[in-house]
Amino acid sequence: MELSPQDLSTKELYKLLTGTIVPRPIGWISSVNEAGQANLAPFSFFNGVCANPPHVLFCPGIRDTTNAPKDSFTNVQATGEFVVNIVTEALAEAMNATATELPASVDEFEFAGLTAVPSVHVKPPRVAESPVSYECRVVHIYEVGQQPGNGTIVVGEIIHIHVNDEIISDNFYIDLSKLQPVGRLMSSGYCRVTDLFDLDRLPPQL
């Protein structure tokens, strides 16, 4: 099958992308509005990019219910700050609860029964229950469009890192069997990081 994106509907494109670009990491983004009220939501159009200085990006879309941007986007655009929290198996249900479409006035930390801990350098709190959190400053916002199916790519620089001592070794290796991260597949599908294999890299041929 050969396909041109312009011949496909938003729904068809979404199904193709989310069914084939798998598994996707989940950035659980905490932010605050200008009044300081906290917000928390998961984004699987998300990744870490570049190691030094370390950056992340996530992509809040336009709501297909109201044509409005996500609260996370409104907040990071207004304040220039956010925190990425890592979702573990134990936190999957709470993460899912924070994806509920709620009025902007609702604090998803309270809605999902999570603990908000003050961050070191940014106003948005981090999720205490998450073993890894990255405090970020927005460095770039690229708008793809303003219709449902469009959205925005938010790039942030990581300026502070919280890691639970129990999941990291002295030489900075993360123990995945302790971290137990969750990946997103399509629709309501998720995966664990349990069926692992190694591939040694070939020596450089330069």
The residue ranges that bind ligand FMN (CB under 6 A) are 26, 39, 41-45, 59-61, 70-72, 96, 99, 101, 151, 184
Which is nearer to ligand FMN, 188 or 205 (by Cβ)?
A: 188
We find the least distance from the C-beta atom of residue 165 to ligand FMN, in angstroms, to be 27
Q: 179-189 burial, b if ≥16 CB within 10 A, otherwise e?
A: bbbbbbebeee
User: Within the chain, what is the greatest distance between any pair of CA atoms?
Assistant: 57
We find the least distance from the C-beta atom of residue 200 to ligand FMN, in angstroms, to be 32
- Determine contact, residues 27/56, Cβ cutoff 8 Å: yes
Which is nearer to ligand FMN, 44 or 119 (by Cβ)?
A: 44
Which is nearer to ligand FMN, 148 or 168 (by Cβ)?
A: 148
Letter for the amino acid at 170?
Answer: D
We find the least distance from the C-beta atom of residue 11 to ligand FMN, in angstroms, to be 15
30 class by beta-carbon count within 10 Å (0-12 exposed, 13-18 middle, 19+ buried): buried
Residues 41/46/49/53 CA torsion (nearest 10 deg): -10
We find the least distance from the C-beta atom of residue 116 to ligand FMN, in angstroms, to be 14
